Structure 1
Amino acid sequence: MPQATAPVAGSPSVVDGVSASPLAKEPEPTWTIPWLLADRIARAPGSTIIERKTGLGHSWSTVTARSFGEDVARVASGLVGMGLEPGQCVSIMAHTSYEWTLLDMAIARAGLISVPIYETDSASQVQWILTDADVRLVITESAALAELVRGAAEARAASNSSDVPEVRVLSLDRDAITTISAAGRTVPRTVLDERTDALRGEDVYSIVYTSGTTGRPKGVEITHRMAAGLGWNGVRWLPDLLLAPSTRLLLFLPLAHSYARFLQILALAGNGVLGHTPDVATLLPDLAAFAPTYILAVPRVLEKIYNAADAKAGSGVKLKTFRWAAKVAIEYSRALDTSEGPSPRLVAAHALADRLVYRTIRALLGPNARYAISGGGPLGPRLGHFYRGVGIIILEGYGLTETIGPTSVNLDTLNKIGTVGPPVCGNSVRMGADGELEVTGLGVFPRYHNNPEATAEAFTSDGWFRTGDMGSIDSDGWITINGRKKELIVTAGGKNVAPAVLEDRLRGHPLVSQVLVIGDGEPFISALVTLDAEMLPGWLHNHGLPEMSVVEASTNPQVLAALDRAVARTNRAVSRAESIRAFRVLTNDFTQANGLLTPSLKVKRNQVMKEYAGTIADIYASTRKGPQE
């Protein structure tokens, strides 16, 4: 096994518009996920690799690297004992947990391919994944989910004219781990080791089905080279944050998504400790008890923390104090990026705001939290500066399922708020002729499973992956994302509008849950807005209004006036031709349950527009003679 190299130094090179990151070490053919775990165990077998939440309050028990490796081998032997052959697929349909990570590592150790399934996937989606990946075993969170999978497997068999292999289904709440382990008692360790040693970097580690906002999910093949190579090099790309033994990460986002999945790999590749919490209802006490040094979050979570703090301030002096402190945080952070730095007046105001407000906000993320990695959508400069001013540095990054998470991420040594940083080690990014970002390198997937047409469409003639995102690259190599290419709105007047900028800013209002900006082919831009049911009661109380339901609030004059003001503030970021001229407040939120949000909390634009076609038609019918381009 190779020894650790020195951390990657220097900024990415920018040549002919291509931002290329230095590669710490080119992965060798033997670099696989089991190799990565074995490397960690060999470095420090007695060190703590995972802490498991116990049933006693908010306490945590330690798992050493050596004992975790034994757990993995025991479960992997069971998978071999169940008759699963190398290269066959096993699905996990469960919450983020120790068991999820254990199964993921065991599936790889047995030379098998893991295929995550979201717990929120419908029976038809599950049926498609079982069919497309030819899944042989599914481990679910619960017996109820197991029944859903069995139904999908029966439907798959009924719809297929030829014989299809039986899908075995086990559930964690019915001793799935014990059942699997028991099947491996007669499997010699040498047999398991032969399976593991036969793996090569180009073999498939996982097939991850996109939670895309349109169309049938595509199976993204993630190779061991991608996962292990980016993991091993990644912790050395940000060594102070990811490689130190004191590093602690608490995962709460779904491991079925590539974002959390890759952070799991980083945690195992480094020297720190990984924890899991499956229930967001206990997230705050778990953060306090586990005390992570960094967290990963999606922008919506960071937005809700800000809005919750604003609502908790109530009204009067407390609310004025919070908003003054928030303004100071943003001004202070912006001043850090100037040559002069913060003025003495601003430094003094920041110190006072820290005593009055910031310490309480930092405490929400745990006593040791210093960094948060943000991905899964645009964060926006406002939140980035607010959190840095508070004392939590947000390292915003960018990636897709096809890049197993990170294509780029800001550095702890140079964090340009409003950008998604430079390419991570092993990747290169360039601008296409139409402004679309294209990427190549270590982190890029080789193909879509069983879908050569989609694979061919996804790559340029010279082999660069078309991300589908519009953006720009500055002279230092830092990347800015301007929005999805397929979501770009072209108004009847020919104005190109990126909806993400407007949606991000409007979602910053405490009343707002989700926003969909529309106007393709129409004379002006408009928006569909949903209300945040959790924030609504506090907002009403703080504004001296009586309790009311979301339905009642959607037509309340004071609520609509507040949203009018929020829209006006949002429009300051764009030209008049790009501004929102009309909006409608919907009575139902966009959720995973009603099929309008992906598991990564992205709005399914086409589905929402179909669902609310009548509302959209009403917007333009009632104002057709109004605002014009």
Structure 2
Amino acid sequence: MGADISSEFRSIPDLLRHRVQRSGSAEAFRFPVDEEWRSLTWDQTWDRARAIALGLHSLGVESEQRCGILASTRIDWILADMGILCAGAATTTIYPTTTAEGCAHIVGDSGSVVVFAEDDEQVDKLRSVREQVPELRKVITFDGTADGDWVITLDELERRGRELADSEPDLFDRIIGAVEPEHLATLIYTSGTTGNPKGVRLVHANWLYEAEAIHAAGELSADDVQYLWLPLSHVFGKVLQVAQLREGFLTAVDGRVEKIVDNLAAVRPTFVAGAPRIFEKVYNKVVLQAKEGGAAKYRIFRWACDVGLRVSRMQRAGERPGALLKAQHALADRLVFAKLREKFGGRLRYFISGSAALAPDIAEFFHAAGILIAEGYGLTETSAASFVNRHDDYRLGWVGKPFPGTEVRIAEDGEVLLRGGGVMRGYHNRPEETAEVIDADGWFHTGDIGELDGEFLRITDRKKDLIKTSGGKYVAPQSVEGKLKALCPYVSNVVVFGNDRPYCTALVTLDEETIVPWARENGLGELGYAQLAAHPKVEELIDSAVEELNAGLPRHETIKRWTALTRELTVEDGEVTPSMKIKRKAVAQNHDQAVAAMYPDTVESL
């Protein structure tokens, strides 16, 4: 666990060059253009990364200077990132949903001198705050319009780079050779749950550690096919890029969430990483489709789930099903589960879940269907991957074992502390806040509460999110929230309250993808979101799920009252982060009247 993991490579550009030398003519990337899939080999990827790097050099970009990327997940994002790193510069990641003022903060705080912007919408954000970011010299757009001065196209940047390569053939190798392991590679602004985001400084050595640790874990190989849709502005998406460089597998790239199901069938990946919300949505759709098929089909679905769960639990306990259960499971698989696996392309070895807690019920359902969701754990400050379940060594509800080279211990108050090659070099321009989370012995204080069983880690909640009721009882809200979402496919978000209160309550939002079809079937098709949230039939629907939830909880954790909000939680209203994590304080402030109404003067006792 604490063994040192070293790399033969000096930098990410060095690792990329090695991959190109080994796999030059092999397919590296697949990406959509006008709804058709196109490809890049490793040789072609190298040529474009070199052109972008030298193009940036022609603009005066120097070692460790920051270059932002303000775009959704697409092949151009990856190529721009590779070009930035090969120029010896560092990538500042910016979510495409970031407001103009948010862009000004990130670009200004990072000191970014160049920003790659996806289209005119993103360019306009930067243009509107141009006076606030005087260091921003040039904007390079993927699909937007050049202005002949401040904004140029990616094609123009690459043209400049190729001209420079022709005039100075040795320049690119000299630039790459000057990149050191401790040079800044990536500046990722944590979306945070309060205040302005902080820039997390990750150096080349951090990413090389991740690449080697993933390689040492032995879960991936050059024969794998990855479908990558995750936001590349998030550390989870970024770590999958360096894993690809180390192993050499093919990656199909398309960040359009609405295309996920279609792309799974087209790409036929062997592994896919995602956040829990995606798996919740898939589960909700599967349950809804079974219900829409009529009473008989739904009974078969429920029977298959029951059989699958029994077999799953026996397998995880090291037991074998008897002849009758084995036959029932074969039938359940043929009628239900095989069809689900085929929707995922038929070659999937496992999903990888990260960035938030996965509800155990969701994990169990997929495992019953013959699909492992290998949950992992890490933070932006630890370069994403610190723990993960292996395909042949896993526990549902736990986040697995540490990667080689990562140390872990649990503090007296239950906080998870990590130390190893993935830990950041600090928060950008914030030495005092860095000192608050990395102690003198190098331990990073994660802010998460957890427990160890052998090497397996389980995260129970965020340290700051733990609720203590006025009766002195502790409640881990994320656990309760996850269970309710698993029980009710018509709910998208749940936020539990109860700190210094006599009992727990919850605000819930509806899942439009499932509640709208349900409304049509129940004669409420003409109602909008807000009307449905207030309708007695919807109240009855959620009430039954809350009652089922409460039946399996200790009394102090039960939800005594709940309220359905008349709109979804949004990034724009500051209620969720761009990676869809709940900002509890903002939700409480924005909906303070709704929360207060659930605690009337007549206080109920526990």
Q: In the aligned structure 2, how far is the partner of 1:106 from the partner of 1:472?
A: 41
Match of 1:507 among 457, 479, 485: 485
Match of 1:488 among 466, 469, 472: 466
* Deviation by residue 1:30-49 (Cα, 9 ceiling, x = unmatched): 53111111121122222211
1:211 paired to 2:188: no
| CA pair 425-543 structure 1, distance change in 2 beyond 3 A | farther
Equivalences for 1:63-78 in 2 at 5 Å?
63-78=40-55
Q: In the aligned structure 2, how far is the partner of 1:150 from the partner of 1:425?
A: 45
SS state at 2:513 partner? coil
TM-score, normalized by length of structure 2?
A: 0.95
| CA pair 566-516 structure 1, distance change in 2 beyond 3 A | same
Higher relative contact order (CA 8 A, sep 6+): 1
* Deviation by residue 1:370-398 (Cα, 9 ceiling, x = unmatched): 21000111112211121122121111001
Q: Which residue of 1 aligns with 2:256?
A: 279
Q: Which moved more, 1:278-287 or 1:80-89?
A: 278-287
SS state at 1:183 partner? helix
Q: Which residue of 2 aligns with 1:171?
A: 141
Asked if structure 2 preserves the Cα contact closer than 8 Å seen for 1:597 and 1:604, the reply is yes
SS state at 1:60 partner? strand
Q: Which residue of 2 aligns with 1:470?
A: 449
Match of 1:52 among 23, 26, 31: 31
Q: Which residue of 1 aligns with 2:403?
A: 424
Q: Which residue of 1 aligns with 2:172?
A: 192
1:397 paired to 2:376: yes
Q: In the aligned structure 2, how far is the partner of 1:373 from the partner of 1:591?
A: 25
- Give 1:48's aligned amino acid: E
Q: In the aligned structure 1, how far is the partner of 2:288 from the partner of 2:364?
A: 20
Equivalences for 1:197-346 in 2 at 5 Å?
197-239=177-219, 242-243=220-221, 245-313=222-290, 314=292, 315-346=294-325
Q: In the aligned structure 2, how far is the partner of 1:385 from the partner of 1:136?
A: 48
* Deviation by residue 1:487-519 (Cα, 9 ceiling, x = unmatched): 111111111111011110111211101000011
Asked if structure 2 preserves the Cα contact closer than 8 Å seen for 1:503 and 1:517, the reply is yes
Q: In the aligned structure 1, how far is the partner of 2:308 from the partner of 2:572?
A: 37
Q: Which residue of 1 aligns with 2:56?
A: 79
Asked if structure 2 preserves the Cα contact closer than 8 Å seen for 1:139 and 1:176, the reply is no
Q: Which residue of 1 aligns with 2:581?
A: 602
Q: Which residue of 2 aligns with 1:583?
A: 562
Q: In the aligned structure 2, how far is the partner of 1:543 from the partner of 1:323?
A: 21
Runs (4+) off by over 3 Å: 540-547
Q: In the aligned structure 2, how far is the partner of 1:40 from the partner of 1:432?
A: 41
Cα drift, residue 199 of structure 1: 1.1
Cα drift, residue 178 of structure 1: 0.9
SS state at 1:535 partner? helix
Cα drift, residue 547 of structure 1: 4.7
Cα drift, residue 236 of structure 1: 3.3
Cα drift, residue 192 of structure 1: 2.2
SS state at 1:487 partner? coil
For structure 2, the residue ranges without an aligned partner over 5 or more in a row are 145-151
Asked if structure 1 preserves the Cα contact closer than 8 Å seen for 2:213 and 2:403, the reply is no
Cα drift, residue 168 of structure 1: 1.6
Q: In the aligned structure 1, how far is the partner of 2:526 from the partner of 2:335?
A: 30
| CA pair 519-134 structure 1, distance change in 2 beyond 3 A | same
1:96 paired to 2:73: yes
Q: Which moved more, 1:313-322 or 1:599-608?
A: 313-322
- Give 2:399's aligned amino acid: V
> C-alpha root-mean-square deviation of aligned residues, in Å?
1.7
Cα drift, residue 149 of structure 1: 1.1
Q: In the aligned structure 2, how far is the partner of 1:279 from the partner of 1:263?
A: 17
SS state at 1:221 partner? strand
| CA pair 319-172 structure 1, distance change in 2 beyond 3 A | same
Cα drift, residue 334 of structure 1: 1.1
| CA pair 186-460 structure 1, distance change in 2 beyond 3 A | closer
Q: In the aligned structure 2, how far is the partner of 1:75 from the partner of 1:238?
A: 33
* Deviation by residue 1:133-181 (Cα, 9 ceiling, x = unmatched): 1011111111121010122232x15xxxxxx434321211137221211
* Deviation by residue 1:294-335 (Cα, 9 ceiling, x = unmatched): 101111111111110111121311122222222222222111
Cα drift, residue 229 of structure 1: 2.1
Percent of residue pairs bearing the same amino acid type: 34
Asked if structure 1 preserves the Cα contact closer than 8 Å seen for 2:378 and 2:387, the reply is yes
* Deviation by residue 1:402-450 (Cα, 9 ceiling, x = unmatched): 1111110001120111100011122111101100000000111111100
- Give 2:230's aligned amino acid: L
Asked if structure 1 preserves the Cα contact closer than 8 Å seen for 2:6 and 2:212, the reply is no
Q: In the aligned structure 2, how far is the partner of 1:573 from the partner of 1:193?
A: 62
- Give 2:194's aligned amino acid: T
Match of 1:612 among 584, 591, 600: 591
Q: Which moved more, 1:601-610 or 1:537-546?
A: 537-546
- Give 2:142's aligned amino acid: L
Q: In the aligned structure 2, how far is the partner of 1:555 from the partner of 1:323?
A: 29
| CA pair 248-602 structure 1, distance change in 2 beyond 3 A | same
Cα drift, residue 198 of structure 1: 1.0
Q: Which moved more, 1:435-444 or 1:362-371?
A: 362-371
Cα drift, residue 539 of structure 1: 2.4
Cα drift, residue 606 of structure 1: 1.0
| CA pair 74-418 structure 1, distance change in 2 beyond 3 A | same
Q: In the aligned structure 2, how far is the partner of 1:127 from the partner of 1:332?
A: 54
- Give 1:122's aligned amino acid: T
Q: In the aligned structure 2, how far is the partner of 1:186 from the partner of 1:545?
A: 64
| CA pair 543-316 structure 1, distance change in 2 beyond 3 A | farther
Asked if structure 1 preserves the Cα contact closer than 8 Å seen for 2:49 and 2:80, the reply is yes
Cα drift, residue 540 of structure 1: 3.2
Q: Which residue of 2 aligns with 1:532?
A: 511
